Structure formats: C-alpha cells, structure tokens
C-alpha cells in the first residue's frame, strides 16, 4: 500500500515564506510522479495550484511555486497572505493511479 | 468557461448503489479524462478512479477495485461514477475533476452521498 506523506500542520507569519513537502513511501519523488498540489478551504471544493511538479494554472497566484528537493515534491509560498490559511494536498501518480497525501493544515498567524 | 456540474445530494441505505453524474461544458469533452475523488467528513482527499473519455481506458484505486465503475456518455458530455455495496464509511463528498496529461485543474462542486439506515 503506497503512502504519500505530508506535514500534518505548519504555521507561518503573514509575509513569510513556508515550504510544504510531499514524500513517497516508494522512494524519492521524481518528475515521473507528476506532482500536483491543491488548496482546500473549509466547505469548498479543492482548488488546483500546481501540476507536473512546477507548472501553474492560469489562476495560481505568483507567490505559489512547486519543485523537487531532497527526494520530495515541494510547494513554497512566498509572501504569505492571510487568505492562504487552508489545507494543502499533494497528489502523486503511480503508473496511472493517483494517491493523495494526507494534507497539511497551514495556519497563518 | 470550463465547468463541471455534478448531480445533487443522494441518501442511500447500506448495501445499495449510487451513481453520481458530472456534466462538462466549455471544452471538448473527448479530449480530456475525468478523475473522481472523495472526501469523508473531516478527512482528507481520496482518489477513486480515472477514465479517458477518448478511448474509455480506466484506472481505479486498489481499495475500491470491483466496487466502483466510471463511465462517460459523450453524447451529453457527462461522466458517471457508480459505487456499489455502500457502507457507512462511503458517506462522503464526491468530486469529479478534469484530468489530462497529469494535469488536474477544474473540479466539480461536489455531490454529497449519505449512507444511512
């Protein structure tokens, strides 16, 4: 059973920078896992932020960026805004099947 | 503009089946795939399955294999997800999402499925 692991929670100050990570139980995450990142606020559907590691959707704010670092997929928020407080999920592809991480609850305080 | 509009809330008894629809508009339906994702109350996201609208190829989460089927009707640009042998742990919000070339972008608004005796 493949497990995708994210930090359960992180706290960041407004205007600060924070990096969320996404690890795979199968080993290092590479571009071949096609990492996607999503933001979800309470009572709302998820909103897509990043696809295939680092590509942004047309609606993704410039302060969000994705990359690979240290064998993990990462999502970095630079210049965090209060409205960035949300749950963030990564998604990895394993030969056609997707697996979500458990999510990171980001608090802006 | 791209839209995915899902069917309304369903209330089912344990052991029953449910079929959720997802009507697409604003793009060429056959050029993209559709993934289905669910979220139990207070829990994280769980990917359920994917279908290529172009050729009907499917992938399913191992946990749900044999209980879930995803299909499409290209004449109405609608995708469907059927889940059988429902149990209380299938109570969740179910989402469809456009999934093409490893890019998941647009999501439906969600369909609440409640399983209760």
Q: Looking at the partner chain, which of B44, B60, B95 has a beta carbon nearest the beta carbon of A102?
A: B44
Average pLDDT over residues A73-77: 98
For testing contact with chain A, the best of B1, B5, B32, B45 (most A CBs within 10 A)? B45
Average pLDDT, chain A: 98
Q: Looking at the partner chain, which of B59, B95, B97 has a beta carbon nearest the beta carbon of A96?
A: B59
- In this predicted structure, what is the pLDDT of residue B111? 98
- In this predicted structure, what is the pLDDT of residue B2? 97
Q: Cα angle at B43 between B38 and B48, to 5 degrees?
A: 25
Give pLDDT tens digits for B37-59: 999 999 999 999 999 999 999 99
| Interface A-B: count of C-beta contacts within 8 A | 60
Measured between CA atoms, the residue of chain A closest to residue B108 is A45
Average pLDDT over residues B60-89: 97
Give pLDDT tens digits for B93-107: 999 999 999 999 999
Q: Looking at the partner chain, which of A36, A55, A100 has a beta carbon nearest the beta carbon of B46?
A: A100
pLDDT band for A86, please (50, 70, 90 cuts): very high
User: What count of residues does chain A have?
Assistant: 109
- In this predicted structure, what is the pLDDT of residue A78? 98
Average pLDDT over residues B12-22: 98
- Phi, psi of B92, rounded to the nearest 5 degrees: -170, 170
Query: What tokens appear for A5 in the block?
Result: 């692991």
Sheet containing strand A17-24, strands side by side: A4-6, A17-24, A72-78, A64-69
Three-class SS of residue A62? coil
The verdict on a CB contact (< 8 Å) between B45 and A103 is yes
Give pLDDT tens digits for A26-70: 999 999 999 999 999 999 999 999 999 999 999 999 999 999 999
The verdict on a CB contact (< 8 Å) between A46 and B37 is yes
């Amino acid at each position: 059973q493949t497990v995708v692991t994210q930090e359960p929670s992180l706290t960041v100050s407004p205007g600060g920078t924070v990096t969320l990570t996404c690890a795979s139980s199968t080993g290092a995450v590479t571009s071949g896992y096609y990492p996607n990142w999503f933001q979800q606020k309470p009572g709302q559907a998820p909103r897509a932020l990043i696809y295939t590691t680092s590509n942004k959707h047309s609606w993704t704010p410039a302060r969000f960026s994705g990359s690979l670092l240290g064998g993990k997929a990462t999502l970095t928020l630079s210049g965090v805004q209060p409205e960035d407080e949300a749950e963030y999920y990564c998604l990895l592809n394993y030969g056609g099947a997707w697996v979500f991480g458990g999510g990171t609850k980001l608090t802006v305080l | 503009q791209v839209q995915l509009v899902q069917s309304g809330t369903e209330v089912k008894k344990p052991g029953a089946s449910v079929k959720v629809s997802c009507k697409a508009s604003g793009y060429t339906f056959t050029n993209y795939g559709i993934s289905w994702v669910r979220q139990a109350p207070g829990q994280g996201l769980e990917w359920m399955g994917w279908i290529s609208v172009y050729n009907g190829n499917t992938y399913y989460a191992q946990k749900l294999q044999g209980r879930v089927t995803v299909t499409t009707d290209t004449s109405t640009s609608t995708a469907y997800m059927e889940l059988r042998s429902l149990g209380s742990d299938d109570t969740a919000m179910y989402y469809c999402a456009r999934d093409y070339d490893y890019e998941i972008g647009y999501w439906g608004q969600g369909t609440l499925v409640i399983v209760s005796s």
